[in-house]
Amino acid sequence: MATLEPVTAANNPSVDVDYGTDTVTVVEDRVVGRRREVELVVAALRAGRHLLLEGPPGTGKSSMLRAIAETVHQPLEFVEGNTELTPSRLVGYFDPAQVLEQGYRPEIWIDGPLLRSLRDGCLLYLEELNRVPEETLNLLVTVMSERELTVPRLGRFEADPSFRIVAAMNPFDAIGTARLSGAIYDRMCRVAMSYQSAAEERGIAAAMVPHAVDRTHGPVLIAAAVDLVRATRDHSEIRIGSSVRGAIDLLSLAVELSALRGRELDDYDLGLDAATTAMSGRIRLHDSSAATAEDVIAELWSTIHPSHFDPVPTNGESAAGRSEEGATGGSGGKVASRRAAEPTAKNGY
């Protein structure tokens, strides 16, 4: 029976982890609007507990954990949860080619992320926990309960004191997911993470696309982009709305479209095209909806754009010209028709 030697600060300084009281302050400066959640996560890690972060995509789960790990100088082992994450892929395996020649020898064992984290005192970050096969989850139950792992033909391995499991999942996406067992919940603390406030999401968008801030109409477009993604979360046709990543991509695309088309950021069609491209793949409509993602985004933009930008025409393009484009299918279907319905002042840039 083989047991890994404890990893100490003397032979691996990265695991000399101290979740000091200043950790929260440092991380708070790097993650917008997450003071409470950072406190809860740091408290759980200080207490030696494993943790589940539960919330929709784009709420800063990964960013927060990475910031904490970097602040305390603890290695972070990242694992993407999916149906192909078998126990052997998580724990490790004997090199098949070498097994045929040498048999099951410790020298030909290849660590997986779980055993590597146990040995090195890492934070094991497991994304999309509710997509992981049940047999793999059962393995985690034992590790979290006993803080050890027994590998057939290899031995028993005790966890380094700094080892923690932090898992994340999106509870609102039912496609390809499974309900977690009570055994998993019973062994993990849980922190629910919802979307940040509108002001905080504007701050995130501005920080991620800084070259939009100094542009003419840039700050107004940032506010409009954030309002658009927030509107998708409450629309009757939408089952799952967009995260702030939709606003970030909208802004990035709008800046580049502005350069390509020679138009300002307040241009109606420029903003709509950027919004459609950035967000149509992010939202999920109800199965009963007869609309398309493009229809819904165009509907929302037709309300949000005029609420942020002054209707000042600059090129004399007529509403009749817009209507003719919509009638002849200029940009296609309902989206073109919605554009045609907008006053010239909002479209004629």
Is the model more confident about 348 or about 288? 288
At residue 180 the predicted structure's pLDDT band, cuts being 50, 70 and 90, is confident
Of 10-14, 39-43, 184-188, the one with minimum mean pLDDT is 10-14
At residue 176 the predicted structure's pLDDT band, cuts being 50, 70 and 90, is low
What tokens appear for 286 in the block? Answer: 């109800």
pLDDT of residue 21: 83
Is the model more confident about 104 or about 113? 113
The ranges assigned to domains in the chain are 13-192, 198-347
What tokens appear for 140 in the block? Answer: 């985690």
pLDDT of residue 108: 85
Residues of the chain above pLDDT 70, percent: 83
Give the span between the Cα atoms of 271 and 264, in whole angstroms: 10
- Say if residues 274 and 221 touch (Cβ distance below 8 Å): no
Is the model more confident about 100 or about 250? 250
Give the span between the Cα atoms of 109 and 104, in whole angstroms: 8
Q: What is the pLDDT of residues 296-322, one digit of tens each?
A: 999 999 999 999 997 644 444 433 333
Would you call 332 helix, strand, or coil by DSSP?
coil
Which residues on neighbouring strands pair with residue 127, listed in sequence order?
Answer: 80
Q: What's the mean pLDDT when you consider all of the chain? A: 84
pLDDT of residue 194: 92
Give the span between the Cα atoms of 238 and 285, in whole angstroms: 4
| Closest C-alpha among 207, 188, 189, 169 to residue 57 | 169
Buried b (16+ CB within 10 A) or exposed e, 125-161: bbbbbbbbbeebbebbeebbeeeebebeebeebbbbe
Give the span between the Cα atoms of 128 and 124, in whole angstroms: 13
Instruction: Please say if the pLDDT value at position 275 is more than 50.
Output: yes
pLDDT of residue 97: 85
Mean pLDDT of 143-156: 92
Is the model more confident about 320 or about 22? 22
CATH 3.40.50.300 at 13-192, yes or no: yes
Residues of the chain above pLDDT 90, percent: 69
pLDDT of residue 15: 52
- For the entire predicted model, the pTM comes to 0.78
Provide φ and ψ at 127, rounded to 5°: -85, 155
With a CB cutoff of 8 Å and minimum separation 6, the contacts of 75 are 14, 15, 69, 120, 121, 122, 123
pLDDT of residue 103: 83
Give the span between the Cα atoms of 232 and 244, in whole angstroms: 11
| Distances from the Cα of 158 to the Cα of 4, 23, 269, angstroms | 7, 27, 60
At residue 173 the predicted structure's pLDDT band, cuts being 50, 70 and 90, is low
pLDDT of residue 101: 83
Mean pLDDT of 18-34: 89
Mean pLDDT of 195-200: 95
At residue 105 the predicted structure's pLDDT band, cuts being 50, 70 and 90, is confident
